[in-house]
Amino acid sequence: MDDVDMEISNSKDDVKLKCKMCLKVLNKHNKNEILIQCGTCNGNVHPSCIDLTLDMVPHIQSYAWQCTDCKTCAQCHDPADEDKMLFCDMCDRGYHIYCVGLRRVPQGRWHCQECAVCANCGSREPGGANSDRNSVAQWQHEYKKGEKNTRVYVSTLCVPCSK
Ligand SMILES: [Zn+2]
Ligand SMILES: [Zn+2]
Ligand SMILES: [Zn+2]
Ligand SMILES: [Zn+2]
Ligand SMILES: [Zn+2]
């Protein structure tokens, strides 16, 4: 399967890649949707078939993403303890809660250390660039109102920038 990236003729519809979840070329709304490829099994999946949003796609494509079947912890590379695994809401990397120093799965959004950056000042610490490592500051996620009163994620700020 090394030549999946090689040129595939787009003139014939029957060579189009299928999603390994729904086994179709088009997504569940019968629309064209980008397929993301697992770096482990090379399987292709529609982001919507595994409840990922399209704004995650550029982050997912920036590394060797793993599908649900292949998912291992990005910290210890162990696939065990699936029920203690936490998924980044930006890049979908999986982490055991104990591998990132948490006792339980946090409420709401969670960004892994690769993705946790203040959109305003670029700080990698939730308490801001000058905070000490022991601060209890939490990342401030900003939302706007979307369709049907849904919350649409906009950006993440450190505590000083969100004030
Ligand atoms: Zn699908
Ligand atoms: Zn896979
Ligand atoms: Zn782990
Ligand atoms: Zn991430
Ligand atoms: Zn900031």
User: Domain limits of the chain?
Assistant: 1-70, 72-108, 116-163
Instruction: Identify the pLDDT of residue 136.
Output: 81
Higher pLDDT, 136 or 18: 18
- Ligand approaching nearest to the C-alpha of 109: 4
Higher pLDDT, 120 or 150: 120
Mean pLDDT, range 9-35, rounded to an integer? 84
Instruction: Identify the pLDDT of residue 158.
Output: 96
Instruction: Identify the pLDDT of residue 40.
Output: 97
- Ligand approaching nearest to the C-alpha of 42: 2
Please say if the pLDDT value at position 7 is more than 60: no
How many angstroms does the Cα of residue 147 sit away from the middle of ligand 3?
Answer: 36
User: What SS3 state is found at 37?
Assistant: strand
How many angstroms does the Cα of residue 163 sit away from the middle of ligand 5?
Answer: 10
DSSP string computed for 65-90: ---TTT--BTTT-----GGGEEE-TT
Structure tokens at 60: 């997912």
Instruction: Identify the pLDDT of residue 94.
Output: 98
Query: Matching CATH topology for 1-70 and 72-108?
Result: yes
Higher pLDDT, 77 or 12: 77
Q: Which residues lie closer than 8 Å to 145 by C-beta, 6 or more apart?
A: 151, 152
How many angstroms does the Cα of residue 121 sit away from the middle of ligand 5?
Answer: 4
What 47-54 contacts at long range (C-beta under 8 Å, 24+ apart), as own/partner pairs, is: 49/19, 49/21, 49/22, 50/21, 52/92
How many angstroms does the Cα of residue 76 sit away from the middle of ligand 3?
Answer: 4
Asked which of 15-19, 109-113, 133-137 is least confident by mean pLDDT, the reply is 133-137
Q: pTM to 2 decimals? A: 0.83
How many angstroms does the Cα of residue 97 sit away from the middle of ligand 2?
Answer: 22
Instruction: Identify the pLDDT of residue 107.
Output: 87
How many angstroms does the Cα of residue 59 sit away from the middle of ligand 4?
Answer: 8
**Percent share of the chain, pLDDT over 70:** 90
CATH code assigned to 72-108: 3.30.40.10
- Residues 81-130 have pLDDT tens digits of 999 999 999 999 999 999 999 999 888 899 999 999 999 999 999 999 88
**Which CATH topology does 1-70 take?**
Herpes Virus-1 (3.30.40)
- Ligand approaching nearest to the C-alpha of 38: 2
